[in-house]
Each structure stands twice: as structure tokens, then as C-alpha cells.
Amino acid sequence: PALVRIRGVSRRFRDTVALDGVDLDIAAGEFFALLGPSGCGKTTLLRVLAGLEHPDSGTVTLDGRDLLSVPAHRRPVNLMFQSYALFPHMSVERNIAYGLARERLPRAEIRERVAAVLATVGLGTEARRMPHQLSGGQRQRVALARAIVKRPRLLLLDEPLSALDKNVRAEMQLELKRLQHEAGITFLVVTHDQEEAMSLADRIAVLDRGRVLQVDTPVGLYRRPRGRFVAGFVGSNNLFRGRLRASGGLEVPGVGVLPAPVGAEAGATAGAAIVAVRPEGVRLAAADAHGTVGAEAVLSGTVLDVSFHGGSSRIAVTVAGLETPVLVTTSGPATVTAGARVTLSWDADSAVLIE
Ligand code: ADP
Ligand code: MG
């Protein structure tokens, strides 16, 4: 059963369509991510859920009850802003207690809940410090503590880690997941960073120009992207344009026939098509090595560039007839250098029909 049910939500600002008929279901206890480029409507959707913005049309329910008619401050929803907006003149514990104090909870209960949440975010010893005495990661934790201490049903996080250094960010990703699990609160996080969405979320909705293009698990999105936009946005894909043949292969003009992609069997009609192949799904072999790769080779080309990224290498291969180089990822250092003649091949299940 969905905790949050969003149906046909649209919001327009003059001639900008920020949200265009958004439908989404978010389950209770889920860690859900909205992923999309800057300006695609992510913040607007969070503001609609938080009650800071009213949609032009559409409905939103929480636990089956209409949410849009509930004033912002009465919603069991909390929004953590992009900038943490801590009160600079208040200590860590007063920052966190603020919302509870406004609700006039008994002092003893406030003390207890603040102490518990401080321990949860690992700031037990920083309670008396002022925001300016904290690191970026610690300020982030205070903002999180402040958001979860009120025990909302739904916590909205707008680009929560974007202000942090890269190494702190990886640590905070783990922290966020642990917190979400421990607090048992449904999280809806917004990000333009696909790696972040994939590492955090149980499910991801990809947004473009106010529309939801695909909702899936990280693995599902990665393996079966629907459409060019998702395929390009989630991971980097090699895209091949051509014509699907009745026999299943993809005929690419000036290049040849590529193996039948996944999805082509399922009643896809012959005709113009785009096939995506993951860089890590492509095998690369030196063209002159023992002559054993010939039988399975799909393409041949020349290495344009090799770069090493620690755990993996990325190799760009120029193929006659293709506008852009084919990207190949291999684990560890590459065994080829620029200028080498190579052949490329891949298994049928590494190629996905996306359009
Ligand atoms: P994102 O968070 O994905 O970057 P936003 O939801 O902030 O995107 O914005 C979506 C679109 O709506 C953008 O084109 C933005 O300029 C526009 N927009 C958002 N809020 C307003 C506003 N209050 N007035 C006018 N345009 C707005
Ligand atoms: Mg935004």
C-alpha cells in the first residue's frame, strides 16, 4: 500500500511547466529518489508535498487522506532544505529542540528526544556547540537531526549532500541510509547525481521537464532504461541508431549488423530503433591477438584514448561509420594503448532496445 499517492500533479510558472502530470506512488518505509537535471521540477514537487507550493491540478494523498487541503505546518511531512538553514545563534541542541518547543511538548520529553536523536546522528558530544564551530558534515547531521526529531511520516530532502566534499559525501550516503533504516521514516530525496540516487534509494523516479519518465529500482533502471534520456542520464551508454531487422539484429548504416538486443524479441516491430550497450558490457581484444576473436567480433576500430580510474580503465574506440567513439570499461589498468587496432564484442544481453 502506498504511503504517498501523487496523481496528475501539474504546476506552471508563467510559460514554464515545472510539473507536467506527475504520477508517483511511494511506499511506507521506502527510500525513494527523484533524479533529474537542474530545472526538471524536483524542488517544485517537494514544495508541493511540503505545502509550500500549490499545484494547478492533481491530487496527493498520504495514508489515503487528502494532503493538499492540509496546511503546511499541520502536515506530517518535513522538508530539509538544500542549505541547512540552522539558526546561527542557537546551540546544536537548541536548533534541534526548536520545532518540538514550538509544539509545546513537555521539557523532559524534548530533552529526551533531542538526546536520542543526537546520539543517532553521532553528535552526542557536540550538543553545546554553535553551528559555526562545526564542520560541513556535522552541520548536515544537525539539519538531519532537526528534521527527524519531529518524527514526520515523510522526510523530504532536497539535494542533501550537494554542499559536502566528495569524501564526506560518500560517508554521509551510508549515514543517511542507516538513519532512514533506524528511524523507520519514509525518505524522499532529490538529486541530480545519478550515482547518489543509485547508492541511496530503493527506487528511483527519473524526471525530465516536469515529467516522470521511468520509475524503477537502481538495477532495473540501469539494465532496462526506457528511452534515450534515461539511457543517457543513468550511467553512460553507447547508443547505436539503426533499423531493427525482422531477424532481430540492428542494422547500422555504414557499420553492419549488430547482435539482436534484449527487448527485440518481445514483439518489437522492425524499423528505426536505438540500442544501448553499457561500456562495461563491451569486450575488447587486440585485433591481431592469435586471431581467435574473429568469430565473435561485432565491430573493429582503433583506440582513440585510454584513461585509468583506479578500479577501472576507460577506453574510447573510433569505429568507421560511427559519429561518436565506442566507450569500453575494463577492470584494472588497460592492456592497450592509443592507436592500437582492436575488435569489440558483447553478449546479446548487454544490448538493450531503448527506443
Ligand atoms: P529543480 O529543483 O529540478 O532544479 P525546480 O523545481 O526548482 O527544478 O524548477 C523547475 C522549473 O520551474 C525551472 O524552470 C524553474 O526556473 C521554474 N520555477 C521554479 N520555481 C519558480 C518560481 N517560483 N517562479 C518562476 N519559475 C519557477
Ligand atoms: Mg532544486
Give pLDDT tens digits for 3-62: 999 999 999 999 999 999 999 999 999 999 999 999 999 999 999 999 999 999 999 999
Q: Does 186 have pLDDT greater than 50?
A: yes
2-223 classified as CATH 3.40.50.300:
yes
Q: Is the CB of 41 under 6 A from ligand 1?
A: yes
Angle between helices 136-148 and 92-102 (to 10 degrees): 20
Using CA atoms, how far apart are residues 347 and 65, in angstroms rounded to an integer? 49
247: cell is: 531477424
| Residues within 5 Å of ion ligand 2, judged at the Cβ atom | 43
What is the three-class DSSP state of 92? helix
Q: How far is CA 53 from CA 36, 44, 73, 163, in A?
A: 20, 7, 13, 24
Same fold: 2-223 with 278-347: no
What is the three-class DSSP state of 289? coil
Pick from 44, 46, 49 the residue to mutate for probing ligand 1's pocket: most ligand atoms within 8 Å of its CB: 44
Ligand 1 centroid – CA 77 distance (Å): 21
> Between vectors from CA 280 to CA 277 and to CA 283, what angle results, nearest 5°?
85
For residue range 208-250, list pLDDT tens digits in order.
999 999 999 999 998 889 888 999 888 778 999 999 887 778 8
CATH class entry, domain 278-347: mainly beta
Ligand 1 centroid – CA 7 distance (Å): 20
Ligand 2 centroid – CA 39 distance (Å): 7
Q: Which atom of ligand 1 is nearest to the CA of 41?
A: 6
Q: Is the CB of 12 under 6 A from ligand 1?
A: no
> Residues, the chain, total?
355
Domain boundaries along the sequence of the chain: 2-223, 236-276, 278-347
Pairing, β 57-62 against β 65-66: antiparallel
